[in-house]
Structures are given as C-alpha cells and as structure tokens.
Structure 1
Amino acid sequence: MCENAAVTSTDGQQSPPPAPVVPLTDAWLVIPLFNEAQVVRGVIEEARRVFPLVVAVDDGSRDDSAAQAAAGGAVVVRHPLNLGQGAALQTGITYVLERTDANFVVTFDADGQHSVADAAAMVQAARDEDLAFVLGSRFLQGPSPVGWLKRLVLKTAAVAASHTTGMHLTDAHNGLRVIRRDAAARLDLRQNRMAHASEIIRQLGATGLPWREFPVHIAYTDYSKGKGQSLWNSINILVDLLFS
C-alpha cells in the first residue's frame, strides 16, 4: 500500500491520508552513548525520520557502538575514556553550539526508551510558547510503569530539585529535554555521573528563562530491563542526591 494512501473505514468512509512527516532541521539530537551497540543504530535510524541531525557522543564504549551509530547516520564524537553521561551531554551540546546554527538541542537516550513523537511535540511546544527549555516528565499524565523504588527515588529527586531551584517539578531525572540555543549556551556541566541531571536542572533554572514540563512516555523494554538499568539508576540517583 502506498504510504500516503487514504484509509477506508468499516462504514465505507475514506479518511484523508496521514500528513507527511516534516523533518525538523533546526534541532539536533544529542545522544550520549556507552555500550549500546545492540540497539543504537535502530534508535538513530528511527529518530532521523523526524530529526535528521544527530550527534552521538561515544563515551569510551568497549563495543562497536560508535560504528553502529555512524551506520545509523549520526555524526559521532568519541571520548577515548568513559567520562560519564554528564560529560557526554556537555560534549554533544558544545558540538551543536560550535559547529551548527541550530535553534534547539534535544537530549535523547540511546537505548530506545524515548519517544521521537514526544521529542517532536516538545520542540513544537518550545516554538509555539516561546520556551527556552521543555523538560519531559513521565508523571504528568496517568500511571507510569516505574517500580516503587525508582518512583520513590525520582519523586524525592523532584522534591529536592524543586526546593533548590524554585521550579515546580514532577520528574527531575528525565533524559528527554528540549533546550533552546540561548539556554544551552549557559550550561557548563561538571557532574559526570547521575548527578548531572540535577545539575542541568539547577543551571537551567538559574537562567530565569521561560520553561515547562511536558508529558512523555518511557518504554521500559526487555533490553533495558535486562541491563538492570532501572534498579541501578535508582541507587545511583540516591547516592548522588546524598553526596553531590
């Protein structure tokens, strides 16, 4: 069937064909990358249908993540050693600011948990509402498939971030963010482990620029669960909240 063909419903009525996807050429995806060779090519290929401009920062992977990201169509920047996700994000943001004239940076995970449609809707919200940054939240609409331990830690992190920044947050550790160029230029991330997520919130909040949260969906796949990501992220967030 032709991709843009009209669809006939059960009552014989034809609905118009879906609108063609319009690539977002004023936004770059920044994808921190560490040992995700199994999935990253597919993640990037899917994302590039909407976001053709992608920079993947390979943070000292021990597998062929960098090659897979390049095969998917991303620009690849490499750290020779594993420096942490915060460092990878800062490298990617710096690349976009110094090498492109993009209006927006979109931080996006490599493991397939983030929704491209959510990211595109967040960019549109930033444009329509003249927002400097839009933060994804998995807790704004309906239940989220998050275990009780991680939910508790994330809620604690959101309360702590709200207290320190004066921003009312429901999800301070969501990796899907849209950041306008002027706000991105004010970021100087020094925390490289999970504490970088709180650091981003603090630095963005300090700009005083307009922002909001946006409801997003997180796909907790068999792949990500198999890596034990949910439990370890919860523990790492808790440790960094206590000692950073």
Structure 2
Amino acid sequence: MTPAPALSGATSNTDTWVVIPLFNEATVIGGVISELLPVFPNVVCIDDGSHDGSSAVAIEAGASVVTHPINLGQGAALQTGFNYALERGAQYIVTFDADGQHRVIDASAMLQLARDENFAIVFGSRFLDDRTNPGLLKKIVLKTAVWVTNLTTRTRLTDAHNGLRVIRADAAARVRLRQDRMAHGTEIVAQLSRTGLPYAEFPVEVIYTDYSKAKGQSLLNSVNILVDLIIR
C-alpha cells in the first residue's frame, strides 16, 4: 500500500471534520490549518488551556475553536473534538497534531482508503516504510509501546501512538476517553478494537523538527508513554 499521489479537493470532504488538540502552538497552528483547509473544509481545534493566544491564531486561520478553560490533557481534548464533530453530522473524523508533524496528503489518502475499502478506522503508521527516522532509541521505545498496546488491546498494529487517524462516525460514537495523558493513545486503540469494526494501517511520514521534538516528540516523551502504559 502506497500513499496517494494527489490530494482530494475540499468539496469532496464536507462530511469530514479534522480534530486538532491544541496547547500553546501559536507559532505553528496557523500554518497547519492553512494547509488543511484546501482539502478539509471543516477543522476544529480544541484549545486545551493555552495561554499563548493559540485560539486567536486558529480562528484567524479559519478553524472553529472549542476552548477548555484549563489544561485537561490530550485525551480530553480529543473526546471534546469527537463530540463536537459528531454533533455536526460528521461521517468521518481525522485526528491531526497541531505541531506540523503530520502531512495533509497522508490524511487525504487515509480518508480515501476508508471510503474505498469501507474501513471504519485507518491508523497512520510511521513504521510501514522507511521515510520516518525517529532515531534508534526512540524507535526502540515506541516499538516497545506497540508491543504492550497490542498485547493489552488484542490488535495488530505497527504504530500504536501515532496521532494521525481516520475514524468513521459509527466508531467514533463508541469512544469514551478517560485517560488524559499519553496513555490515551492505547485507550483509543482498545476502545476502537472493541467495536469489532474493520480497520487498517496506512504508511505515513512523521516530520520531526526541533520544534516538534521540544513540544513532545522527544525520547523522554516516548519513555513517558511507556510509564503511563504501566501505571494506568
């Protein structure tokens, strides 16, 4: 399976909402939204207690914004986004990170796969090809997290903590996230798995920059994922 060579137009994705958890990303979120909107006309940012003006930047860029008055964590932000999108009739939800590490072309191709093959969930995976280089130590930690997640959720994924996903409405409606820290990544896999709905993985490129590493893609953050999995 290879990524699609072209992006589908926004007019064909009016039934889809992109959900972006947002926390102190004012310097980059405008550019992320500007890249998304030509392909996905419905973008909602869940501002999870930001104090750097992220909401204003997101609104100026053309996104809808829902605000948490205090920081509740990424799991809570995703759940708020799912509820928001479903209330507005979304048939598909795309989860997308705010820091610029995901590619719109990958999200578009994943959505097209879900439509064409009737998948309820498409998980992005940075380990199905060699475009992404997280570094040896980070890769070992992430692979260990995958092993733990597959063991506890009875799934067979190659990348359990990738924030780029496509989720059909019938699957999203059965998600109730309670883990607010990094363990929410395993929790959402477990809940989606329990739906019994068909899923697939799709090869995506994760773009690591100095900014994204500082914001949460560091080796330490990957270790924190494991810690959360153990203590949850």
TM over 0.5: yes
User: Equivalent residue for 1:208?
Assistant: 196
TM-score normalised per structure 1 = 0.89
Q: Once superposed, what is the RMSD of the aligned Cα atoms?
A: 1.5
Q: How does 1:82-231 map to 2 (within 5 A)?
A: 82-98=71-87, 100-142=88-130, 144-227=132-215, 229-231=217-219
Q: Which runs of 5+ in 2 are unaligned?
A: none
1:199 is aligned with what amino acid? E
2:60 is matched with which residue? 71
Mapped partners of 1:223, 1:41: distance in 2: 15
Unaligned segments of structure 1, at least 5 residues: 1-17
Cα distance in 2 between the residues matched to 1:241 and 1:131: 27
User: CA offsets per residue over residues 49-91 of structure 1, 9 Å max, x none?
Assistant: 1011000000000110010111111100000000000000000
Counterpart CA distance in 2 for 1:192 and 1:115 is: 25
Greater than 4 Å deviation, 4+ residue runs: 18-21
Query: Scaled by the length of structure 2, what TM-score is found?
Result: 0.93
Match of 1:241 among 204, 214, 229: 229
Match of 2:9 in 1: 22
Say whether the 8 Å CA contact 1:140–1:170 is kept in structure 2: yes
Out of 58, 69, 73, the residue aligned to residue 80 of structure 1 is 69
**Residues 178-206 of structure 1: CA deviation (Å, up to 9, x unaligned):** 00000000000000000000000000000
Amino acid at match of 1:25: T
Q: Residues 52, 235 of structure 1: CA spacing in aligned structure 2 closer, same or farther, 3 A cutoff?
A: same
1:126 match: secondary structure: helix
Q: How many aligned residue pairs are there?
A: 226
Deviation at 1:225?
Answer: 2.9
1:29 aligned partner, one-letter code: V
Higher relative contact order (CA 8 A, sep 6+): 2
SS in structure 2 opposite 1:112? Answer: coil
Q: CA deviation at 1:21?
A: 4.9
CA-CA distance at 1:149 after TM superposition: 2.3
- The residue aligned with 1:57 is 46
